[in-house]
């Protein structure tokens, strides 16, 4: 009779490990990221012109930075089925499994040399493409192709000098 009790106890312990093991690790977010994938909005509109777009790679996310020649602008950023050009409504072709529409509430007085590849993101872990979707009526739109619908955050930074930046970070995973 005691052998049966030992076997039952071992089965209960093994089953308990299987039930509690993954739950504890699933509660730990990737790199401490709690951003989510819902739209991010800041309604501040400025006249500071949009001057450049840059990209960078980090351990836990890929980053896009929009430089402005003055105070920080607001933004509207969210996943969409397709990105459309401001004014014309034409669809902007993008690579990737998901698309972020990035609207910076500031005008741009130029068009990049290559509207389809505003920033070179080849070799990036999450970003697949950054495309120009126009500047119209005081706002500038970019289409960002990403590997999949992943968590992202958007925020503004002052500087350098009298300029500012709108920053978009897209996590490498959930």
Q: Does residue 131 contact residue 72 with C-beta atoms inside 8 Å?
A: no
Say what the pLDDT of residue 106 is.
96
- Give the residue with greater pLDDT, 171 vs 28: 171
Per the DSSP assignment, residues forming a β-bridge with 129 are 145
What are the pLDDT digits (tens) for 46-99?
999 999 999 999 999 999 999 999 999 999 999 999 999 988 899 999 999 999
- Phi, psi angles (nearest 5°) of residue 21: -55, -60
Count of CB atoms situated within 10 Å of the CB of 152? 27
pLDDT band at 8 (very low <50, low <70, confident <90, very high): low
What are the pLDDT digits (tens) for 111-159?
899 999 999 999 999 999 999 999 999 999 999 999 999 999 999 999 9
Average pLDDT for 157-174: 95
DSSP state letters, 88-143 = T--EE---SSEEEEEEESS-BS---S-TT-SS--TT-SSEEEEEEEEEETTEEEEE
Which residues, including other chains, have CB under 8 Å from residue 27's CB and lie 6 or more apart? none
């Amino acid at each position: 009779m005691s052998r049966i009790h030992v076997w039952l106890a071992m089965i209960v312990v093994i089953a308990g490990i299987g039930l509690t093991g993954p739950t504890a690790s699933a509660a730990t977010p990737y790199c401490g990221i709690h951003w989510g994938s819902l739209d991010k909005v800041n309604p501040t509109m400025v006249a500071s012109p949009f001057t450049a777009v840059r990209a960078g790679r980090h351990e836990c996310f890929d980053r896009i930075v929009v430089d402005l020649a003055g105070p920080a602008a607001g933004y509207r950023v969210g996943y969409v089925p397709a990105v459309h050009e401001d004014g014309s409504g034409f669809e902007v072709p993008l690579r990737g499994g998901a698309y972020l529409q990035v609207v910076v509430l500031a005008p741009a007085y130029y068009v990049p040399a290559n509207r389809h590849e505003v920033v070179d993101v080849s070799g990036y872990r999450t970003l697949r493409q950054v495309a120009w979707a126009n500047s119209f009526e005081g706002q500038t739109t970019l289409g960002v192709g990403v590997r999949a619908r992943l968590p992202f955050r958007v925020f503004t930074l002052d500087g350098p000098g009298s300029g500012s930046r709108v920053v978009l970070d897209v996590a490498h995973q959930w």
